[in-house]
């Protein structure tokens, strides 16, 4: 077993070895993964999305990079010796082919999972520049990606540390790998730390990457002596021109005209949002407080407090000494008895749901009630026909404000989380919406709760459900940060 047994080998044990080329590519990929993961977590994406994308993009990218190299380096040779195609340890990966393969995979993954491809790509693609910058040092180890012949004095000064590496077969060459590596780092800094602050629309960071890398690679390939060719043309320069044109068209909004913007998914809370259940909830709690000799604790403040949070949370706070399952069953039984005479749909609830349904919006409900109870309540007022799916407290382990319920309904229906509205009447609802990255609407049906709800800082507030019809027509993205 030995570390660094030769210039190209990083680690060797017996006949097995790991090359520096592989180490540097994987290191670049892991750094890009870390930065991308951090970006997506800030936007409230569940961690498994970035893991799925990373693992599959890594292998599809390597396959695409290798096939691109084989096709344009010496297709006849690789067709005659197909086993050589998998010999990536001997070098021969074309970055542009890897990028194209990764983009194709990511596009279809996002489409299948209900994700906005450009929004996801904005969080990942600029980080590819760092991976490319590091990966280019693998070319240095393999003595690839070099330019025109130069004299030894070319390397005097700051370039002297790479002089030996660019001494190939008795001749010194320009270190084009180094120039591309440095330019990739500069591009990363400009896109992530400058352009991102002024980003106007989804995809701008992707378009900027294509423009920057297109220009960089066109320049680099103009000097390389080991470039891949397609007839008399340098393949990477042809691809770079395409990158640059696509980037320009995207950045200046031409491509947007051909992309149909998806309608937002609209998810509602139930109690206090679609249904006016305040009277029934308060009366049911009053029944329990009275039965267990705690009537004096049920003040006006507590009446407002119990509207919104999960039953279990309130039971633990005020009835911790009572059997919780028994208490839950008593609550349900009493609430069911008085439900129809004490509750009613909110004003314009049915007309709003019908209008949204007719216009093709996906409509869901995430509630702290059990799914069967939610469905029964909706059926009572004939609102169930407008709702596509329901997630109740029995479907999740964690209740709002944890985003598990919202994540579950999105994942099981493949609904977009990048155009998502959550409507609720409590601070808990607004926090749950923010925790999944949704555009939140605070519904103020009770003026006494207005001040409390305003503190949650929802994206919008309404006092009539019909106003949702105006909000969905606004010209912005429906996520918590509007990005």
pLDDT digits (tens, 9 = 90+) for 60-73: 998 998 888 888 77
Alpha helices in 359-463 (DSSP H): 371-380, 404-413, 427-435, 450-454
Which residue matches tokens 């507030």?
A: 461
Most confident of 184-198, 289-303, 333-347: 184-198
pLDDT score for 312: 87
Residue 202, burial from CB neighbour count under 10 angstroms (0-12, 13-18, 19+): buried
> How many angstroms separate the most distant Cα atoms in the chain?
96
Provide the whole-model pTM. 0.85
**Residue 22 DSSP SS3:** helix
What's the CA gap between 391 and 414, in Å, rounded? 14
pLDDT band at 10 (very low <50, low <70, confident <90, very high): confident
90: pLDDT confidence band, cut at 50, 70 and 90? low
**pLDDT band for position 1 (cuts 50, 70, 90):** low
Task: Name 37's Cβ contacts closer than 8 Å, sequence gap at least 6.
Answer: 47, 50, 54
pLDDT at 352 over 70: yes
What letter does residue 268 receive in the DSSP assignment?
E
Query: Residues 23-32: pLDDT tens digits?
Result: 998 999 999 9
More confident residue, 107 or 336: 107
Query: How far from the centroid of its chain's Cα atoms is residue 275's Cα?
Result: 33
Per-residue pLDDT of 379-403, as tens digits, reads 999 999 999 999 999 999 999 999 9
The CATH superfamily holding the domain 261-277+343-483 is HAD superfamily/HAD-like (3.40.50.1000)
């Amino acid at each position: 077993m030995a570390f660094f047994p030769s210039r190209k080998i990083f680690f060797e044990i017996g006949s097995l070895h790991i090359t520096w080329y592989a180490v540097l590519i994987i290191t670049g990929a892991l750094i890009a993964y870390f930065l991308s993961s951090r970006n997506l977590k800030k936007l409230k994406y569940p961690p498994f999305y970035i893991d799925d994308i990373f693992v599959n993009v890594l292998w599809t990218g390597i396959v695409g990079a290798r096939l691109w190299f084989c096709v344009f380096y010496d297709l006849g040779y690789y067709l005659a010796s197909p086993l050589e195609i998998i010999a990536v340890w001997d070098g021969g990966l074309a970055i542009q082919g890897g990028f194209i393969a990764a983009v194709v995979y990511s596009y279809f993954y996002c489409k299948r999972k209900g994700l906005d491809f450009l929004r996801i790509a904005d969080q990942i693609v600029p980080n590819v520049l760092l991976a490319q910058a590091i990966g280019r040092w693998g070319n240095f180890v393999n003595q690839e990606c070099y330019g025109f012949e130069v004299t030894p004095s070319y390397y005097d000064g700051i370039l002297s540390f790479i002089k030996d590496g660019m001494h190939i077969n008795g001749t010194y060459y320009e270190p084009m790998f180094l120039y591309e590596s440095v330019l990739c780092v500069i591009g990363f800094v400009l896109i992530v730390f400058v352009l991102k602050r002024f980003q106007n629309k989804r995809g701008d960071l992707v378009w900027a990457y294509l423009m920057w890398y297109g220009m960089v690679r066109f320049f680099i390939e103009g000097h390389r002596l080991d470039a891949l060719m397609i007839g008399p043309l340098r393949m990477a320069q042809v691809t770079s021109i395409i990158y640059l044109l696509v980037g320009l068209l995207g950045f200046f909004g031409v491509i947007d005209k051909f992309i149909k913007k998806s309608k937002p998914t609209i998810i509602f809370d139930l109690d206090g949002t679609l249904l006016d259940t305040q009277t029934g909830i308060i009366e049911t709690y009053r029944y329990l407080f009275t039965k267990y000799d705690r009537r004096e604790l049920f003040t006006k403040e507590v009446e407002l407090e119990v509207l919104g949070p999960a039953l279990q949370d309130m039971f633990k706070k005020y009835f911790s000494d009572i059997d919780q399952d028994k208490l839950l069953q008593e609550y349900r039984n009493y609430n069911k008895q008085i439900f129809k005479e004490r509750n009613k749909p909110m004003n314009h609830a049915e007309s709003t749901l019908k209008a949204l349904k007719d216009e093709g919006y996906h409509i869901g409900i995430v509630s702290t009630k059990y799914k069967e109870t939610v469905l029964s309540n909706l059926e009572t007022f004939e609102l169930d026909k407008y709702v596509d799916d329901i997630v109740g407290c029995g479907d999740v382990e964690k209740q709002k404000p944890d985003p598990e319920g919202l994540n579950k309904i999105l994942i099981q229906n493949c609904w977009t989380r990048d155009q998502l509205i959550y409507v609720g009447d409590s601070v808990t609802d607004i926090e749950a919406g923010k925790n999944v990255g949704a555009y939140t609407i605070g519904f103020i049906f009770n003026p006494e709760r207005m001040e409390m709800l305003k503190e949650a800082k929802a994206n919008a507030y309404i006092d009539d459900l019909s106003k949702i019809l105006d909000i969905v027509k606004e010209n912005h993205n429906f996520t918590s940060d509007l990005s």
